[in-house]
Amino acid sequence: MASGNAIRGSRVGAGPMGEAERGESAPRVRVSFWCANGHETQPSFATDAQIPDTWDCPRCGFPAGQDRDNPPAPPRTEPYKTHLAYVRERRSDADGEAILAEALAKLRGEI
């Protein structure tokens, strides 16, 4: 038996009106961006919007620029550093020996 709900299966705001209900969309312009791998991306922008200098390539993730012959260089990724690598940057071997000697003296009860 039908429940009597006439709008079952539709959502709020749905309707056949489309563009007339939402209003006119802003005039658009498509701008080409190229990445270092030669991929072309063409996002669309409103004609009165400020176009960015770079855009992320959706295929490889590298930055893309508007100059096809001179795209921006891919970012340089730094290798992962361990905690020990950061400690070695801050401390010399002599500092490490002094800290170790002090810690061992505390453990032995000499201090």
Three-state secondary-structure class, residue 21: helix
Provide CB contacts within 8 A for 36, sequence distance 6+: 62, 71, 72, 73, 74
Instruction: Please tell me whether 75 is known to bind a ligand.
Output: no
Instruction: Please tell me whether 96 is known to bind a ligand.
Output: no
Residue 53 · residue 65 · CB < 8 Å: yes
Apex CA 66: angle with CA 65 and CA 68, to 5°? 90
Instruction: Please tell me whether 76 is known to bind a ligand.
Output: no
Three-state secondary-structure class, residue 40: strand
Instruction: Please tell me whether 39 is known to bind a ligand.
Output: yes
Binding site residues for Zn(2+), as ranges?
35, 39, 57, 60
Binding site residues, as ranges?
35, 39, 57, 60
